Structure 1
Amino acid sequence: MATFRTDAARLAQDWGINLPGVTHYVGERGNAFDAAPVFSAVTAPNSGIPAVINTMVDPQLIRQLITPTKSEEIYGSQKKGDRAIKTVMFPVLESSGYAVAYGDYEQAGDSSANANWVSRQSFPFQTWAKYGDLEAEMMGMGNIDWIAEQRTAGASVLAKQANLINLFGVSGLENYGALNDPSLPAAITASLKTGTATAWTSTSDPNAVYNDFVTLFSDLNKAMMGNIDNQTRVKVVLPSELSPVLTYTNSFGITLEEMLKKSWPNMEIVFLPEAGVTMSGGYTSANVMQMFVPEVDGVETVTTAFTERLTMHRLEQYSTNARQKMSRGGWGTVWKRPMAVAQMVGI
Structure 2
Amino acid sequence: MRDSQVIAQLAAKGVILAPGVKNVTTPLAQFAMDAADLTPTLIGTPNAGIPAYLTTYVDPKVIEVLVAPMKAAEIVGESKKGDWTTLTAAFIQAEPTTEVATYGDYSADGSSGANVNYPQRQSYHFQTWTRWGERELEMAGAGRVDLAAQLNYSSALGLSKFLNASYLFGVSGLQNYGLTNDPRLIAPVAATVNWATGVPEDIFNSVVTQFKQLQSQTQGIVDQETELHLAMPPTASADLNRVNTYGLSAAKLLLDAVPKLKIITVPEYDTAGGRLVQMWAPRVEGQDTATCGFTEKMRAHAIERYSSYFRQKKSAGTWGAIVWRPACMAAQLGV
**What amino acid sits opposite 2:236 in the alignment?**
L
Matched residue, 2:17: none
Aligned to 1:268: 262
The superposition leaves residues 31-58 of structure 1 with CA deviations (integer Å, 9 ceiling, x where unpaired) of xxxxxxxxxx999765333222221210
Q: What is aligned with 1:166?
A: 167
Q: How has the CA–CA distance of structure 1 residues 250 and 45 changed in structure 2, closer, same or farther, with 3 Å as cutoff?
A: same
Which residue matches 1:55?
56
- Give the aligned residue type for 1:248: R
Q: For residue 344 of structure 1, report the CA deviation from its aligned partner.
A: 0.9
Write the mapping of 1:1-347 to structure 2, written as runs, cut at 5 A: 46-191=47-192, 193=193, 199-201=194-196, 203-277=197-271, 284-347=272-335
- Give 1:98 shift: 2.3
CA distance in 2, matches of 1:319, 1:285: 52
CA contact (8 A) 2:273 2:334 kept: no
- Separation in 1 of the partners of 2:331 and 2:237? 18
Change (3 A) 1:102 1:323: same
How far did residue 149 of structure 1 move?
Answer: 1.0
Letter in 1 for 2:67: I
Return the alpha-carbon distance in structure 2 between the equivalents of residues 71 and 238 of structure 1: 11
Find the residue that maps to 1:94 and give its secondary structure.
strand
| Cα separation, partners in 2 of 1:301 and 1:46, compared to 1, 3 Å | same
The verdict on how the C-alpha distance between 1:289 and 1:47 changes in structure 2, with shifts beyond 3 A counting, is same
Task: Indicate how the Cα distance of structure 1 residues 252 and 42 shifts in structure 2: closer, same or farther if over 3 A, else same.
Answer: same
Other structure's SS at 2:251 match: helix
| Aligned residues between the structures | 298
CA contact (8 A) 2:233 2:268 kept: yes
Q: Secondary structure of 1:274's partner?
A: helix
Deviation of 1:167 after TM superposition, in Å, equals 0.7
Instruction: Pick which of 215-224 and 42-51 moved more.
Output: 42-51
Identity %: 38
CA contact (8 A) 1:234 1:294 kept: yes
Q: Which shifted more, 264-273 or 66-75?
A: 66-75
Task: Please give the alpha-carbon distance, in whole angstroms, between the structure 1 residues aligned to 2:80 and 2:189.
Answer: 33
Asked if structure 1 preserves the Cα contact closer than 8 Å seen for 2:127 and 2:315, the reply is: yes
Q: Which runs of 4+ in 1 moved over 6 A?
A: 27-30, 41-45
CA distance in 2, matches of 1:42, 1:236: 76
- Listed one character per residue, the Cα deviations across residues 148-197 of structure 1 (whole Å, up to 9, x for unaligned) are 11111111111111111111001110000111110101211211x4xxxx
Deviation at 1:80, TM superposition (A): 0.6
In the TM superposition, residue 232 of structure 1 has moved relative to its aligned partner by: 1.6
What TM-score results when the alignment is normalised by the length of structure 2?
0.84
Gap regions ≥5 residues in structure 1: 1-26, 31-40, 194-198, 278-283
8 Å CA contact retained: 1:204, 1:248: no
Instruction: Report the CA distance between 1:141 and its aligned residue.
Output: 1.2
Q: State the alpha-carbon separation in 2 of the partners of residues 232 and 44 from structure 1.
A: 80
Q: CA deviation at 1:209?
A: 1.2
Out of 138-147 and 311-320, give the one that drifted further: 311-320
SS of 1:252's equivalent in the other structure is coil
Give distance in 2, aligned partners of 1:120 and 1:173: 8
Normalised by the length of structure 1, the TM-score is: 0.81
> Do the aligned partners of 1:98 and 1:110 also contact (CA within 8 Å) in 2?
yes
Q: Supply the distance in 1 between the matched residues of 2:225 and 2:278 (Cα, whole angstroms).
A: 18
Query: Is the CA contact (8 Å cut-off) linking 1:301 and 1:338 kept in structure 2?
Result: yes
Which AA in structure 2 matches 1:62? I
Kindly tell me: are residues 142 and 232 of structure 1, through their superposed partners in 2, closer, same or farther at Cα, counting changes over 3 Å?
Answer: same
Structure 2 unaligned runs (5+)? Answer: 1-32, 37-41
Tell me the distance in 1 between the aligned counterparts of 2:60 and 2:257. Answer: 50
The letter for the 1-side match of 2:274 is: A
Q: CA deviation at 1:99?
A: 2.1
Give 3-state SS (helix, strand or coil) of 2:226's partner. Answer: coil
